[in-house]
C-alpha cells in the first residue's frame, strides 16, 4: 500500500502525540493513525533532542569526554561512563584494581534499582494510580541518598575514571547501604502487593503484547526482551567486570507473557536480584587501592591509536559504545548504541489494534529514554521495514 493511495475515510485520523504532550516526559512524536478509535499505524519521530554528543566527543580530549558521555542520559549515567571507560581501558591496556571494579558494579546496580523504581512510578502515574507513583518515588529517594553518600552527587556521579574510581566505600557506608537496602526491600514488597490488585491488572494485563517471536525479530533488548520470554542479558551472555565471578549471586528474570504487566513485574523482580547482588559484593570487597596511581592527564597522553567496542547491561538493556582513539588525547570516532533504539521499534507492534487510552502506558512500559536515542528511526508501515537515517537525510525526506 503506497502512502498516496490510502483512501482517507472519515473515520481515519492521524493523531499526533507529542513532542510536547502531558503524558510524555520527554519530547518524542508518535503520529498515530486511528480508525474508529482503533490504532492501525504508529510512526515514531525521535530527533527532538538531538544534541550532537558524538560530534562534541570527537572535538574534546578524553578527560573531558568522560564527563560528556556521562551526560548522555541522566538515568543511566553510570552505565554510559562504565561502558566508555571499559572501552578506553581496553585500548590503553590498563587493568583497574579489583576494588574499583566492585565499586563500579555496586553503583551500576544501585542505578538499576533507582531507574526501575522510576519506571514503576511512571507506569503507576500513567494508569492513574498516583499513590503508587508517590510511594515508588519515596523509596527511590533512599537509593538516591546512597548514591549521593558514595559520590557526592545524586544523578551524575562522575565516579569512573580511567584506571579506577574516584570515591571509595568505607566501612560505615557499607553498613549504611546494607541497612537502607533492607528498607527498600520492604517497600518493594508493598509495591508488588499493589501490583497484584485487580484494577492494576485490568489496566496492564494483555495490553501491549509482544510475542517472543516478534521480539526476537525486532531484536529488542533488556527487560522488554526478558518480559517476552527471551533470555537476553549482557551480564550473563557476555559478562564483564565482576559479573564474571558473581554470576551465581543473582538470577536472570524472564517472564513469558510479553504484556505490560510482565514488563512491570520484571522490574520489581530485578530490583530484588540487584539488592541481593549488591549485598554479596559488599561482603566480598577486596582490600586493594581504588585507582592506579597515575594521573588522568598523564594517562590520556599515552593512549595509543586503537578501537574497541564495549557492551554493558544498562537498566534498559544492552548498551554499546564504539570508541576509536586518535593517539593524541582525543577521539576519532565515538558511536553509541542505546537500548531505546531497538525497543522503540517494538512500540508500533505493541500498540497495533489497541485503544488510544493505552498509548501512554504501553509507551512507558518499555521505559524509553529518549535523551539516549540521538538518531532517528523511521518505521515504514507501507513497506513494513525499519530504516535508521541520520538527521541530514531526515531533513531531506520530510
Partner 1 sequence: MNITGKARLKSPWLFHLNTGSCNGCDIEILAALTPRYDAERFGCMLVASIRHADILLLTGPVTTQMHERLLRVYEQMPEPKAVVAVGSCAVSGGVYTGSPVVDGPADKFMPVDVYVAGCPPRPEAIVKGILEALRKFR
50 contact choice in partner 1, ligand SF4, none (CB below 5 to 8 Å, kind-dependent): partner 1
Q: Least Å distance between CB 28 and partner 1?
A: 10
Q: Which of residues 128-147 bind partner 1 (CB under 8 A)?
A: 133-134, 137-138, 140-141, 144
Give the residues lining the site for ligand SF4 (CB under 6 A): 71, 74, 155
- Which lies closer to partner 1 via its Cβ, residue 29 or residue 33? 29
In this structure, the dihedral spanned by the alpha carbons of residues 207, 211, 214 and 215, taken in order and rounded to 10 degrees, is 80
Q: Residue 321 and residue 49: Cα distance in Å, rounded?
A: 20
Q: Which of residues 374-393 bind partner 1 (CB under 8 A)?
A: 391
| Contact (CB, 8 A) for 147 and 112 | no
- Which lies closer to partner 1 via its Cβ, residue 12 or residue 156? 156
Contacts of 300 (CB under 8 A, 6+ apart): 61, 62, 63, 162, 329
* Contacts of range 145-151, beta carbons closer than 8 Å, 24 or more positions apart: 145/180, 146/110, 146/176, 146/177, 146/180, 146/181, 147/107, 147/110, 147/111, 147/114, 149/173, 149/176, 150/103, 150/107, 150/110, 151/107
Asked if 118 touches partner 1 (CB under 8 A), the answer is yes
49 contact choice in partner 1, ligand SF4, none (CB below 5 to 8 Å, kind-dependent): partner 1
The site that binds partner 1 (CB under 8 A) totals a number of residues, namely 39
Write the DSSP symbol of residue 48: G
Q: Least Å distance between CB 352 and ligand SF4?
A: 34
Beta strands in 181-236 (DSSP E): none
Q: Residue 138 and residue 187: Cα distance in Å, rounded?
A: 9
Binding mask 30-69 for partner 1 (x = CB under 8 A): -----------------xxxxxxx-xx--x-------xx-
Q: Least Å distance between CB 99 and partner 1?
A: 27
Q: Residue 246 and residue 236: Cα distance in Å, rounded?
A: 10
Binding site for partner 1 (CB under 8 A): 19-20, 22-23, 25-27, 47-53, 55-56, 59, 67-68, 71-75, 77, 118, 133-134, 137-138, 140-141, 144, 154-156, 369, 371, 391
Amino acid at each position: 500500500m503506497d502512502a498516496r493511495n490510502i483512501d482517507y475515510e472519515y473515520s481515519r485520523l492521524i493523531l499526533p502525540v507529542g513532542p510536547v504532550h502531558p503524558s510524555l516526559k520527554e519530547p518524542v512524536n508518535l503520529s498515530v493513525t486511528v480508525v474508529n478509535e482503533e490504532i492501525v499505524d504508529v510512526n515514531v519521530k525521535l530527533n527532538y533532542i538531538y544534541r550532537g554528543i558524538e560530534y562534541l566527543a570527537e572535538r574534546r580530549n578524553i578527560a573531558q569526554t568522560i564527563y560528556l558521555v556521562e551526560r548522555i542520559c541522566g538515568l543511566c549515567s553510570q552505565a554510559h561512563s562504565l561502558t566508555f571507560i571499559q572501552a578506553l581501558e581496553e585500548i590503553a591496556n590498563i587493568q583497574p584494581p579489583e576494588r574499583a571494579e566492585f565499586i563500579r558494579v555496586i553503583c551500576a546496580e544501585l542505578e538499576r534499582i533507582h531507574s526501575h523504581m522510576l519506571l514503576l512510578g511512571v507506569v503507576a502515574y500513567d494508569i492513574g494510580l498516583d499513590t503508587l507513583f508517590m510511594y515508588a518515588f519515596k523509596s527511590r529517594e533512599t537509593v538516591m541518598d546512597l548514591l549521593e553518600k558514595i559520590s557526592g552527587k545524586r544523578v551524575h556521579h562522575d565516579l569512573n575514571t580511567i584506571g579506577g574510581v574516584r570515591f571509595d566505600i568505607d566501612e560505615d557506608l557499607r553498613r549504611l547501604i546494607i541497612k537502607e537496602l533492607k528498607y527498600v526491600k520492604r517497600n518493594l514488597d508493598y509495591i508488588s502487593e499493589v501490583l497484584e490488585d485487580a484494577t492494576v491488572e485490568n489496566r496492564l494485563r494483555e495490553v501491549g503484547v509482544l510475542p517472543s517471536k516478534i521480539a526476537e525479530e525486532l531484536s529488542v533488548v533488556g527487560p522488554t526482551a526478558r518480559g517476552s520470554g527471551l533470555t537476553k542479558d549482557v551480564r550473563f551472555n557476555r559478562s564483564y567486570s565482576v559479573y564474571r565471578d558473581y554470576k551465581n549471586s543473582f538470577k536472570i528474570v524472564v517472564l513469558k507473557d510479553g504484556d505490560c504487566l510482565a514488563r512491570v513485574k520484571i522490574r520489581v523482580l530485578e530490583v530484588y536480584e540487584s539488592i541481593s547482588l549488591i549485598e554479596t559484593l559488599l561482603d566480598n570487597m577486596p582490600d586493594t587501592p581504588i585507582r592506579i596511581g597515575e594521573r588522568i592527564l598523564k594517562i590520556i597522553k599515552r593512549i595509543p591509536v586503537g578501537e574497541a567496542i564495549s557492551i554493558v547491561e544498562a537498566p534498559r538493556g544492552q548498551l554499546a559504545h564504539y570508541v576509536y582513539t586518535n593517539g593524541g588525547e582525543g577521539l576519532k570516532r565515538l558511536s553509541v548504541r542505546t537500548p531505546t533504539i531497538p525497543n522503540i521499534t517494538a512500540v508500533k507492534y505493541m500498540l497495533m489494534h489497541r485503544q488510544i487510552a493505552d498509548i501512554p502506558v504501553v509507551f512507558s512500559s518499555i521505559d524509553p529514554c529518549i535523551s539516549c536515542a540521538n538518531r532517528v528511526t523511521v518505521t515504514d508501515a507501507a513497506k513494513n521495514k525499519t530504516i535508521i537515517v541520520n538527521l541530514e537525510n531526515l531533513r531531506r525526506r520530510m
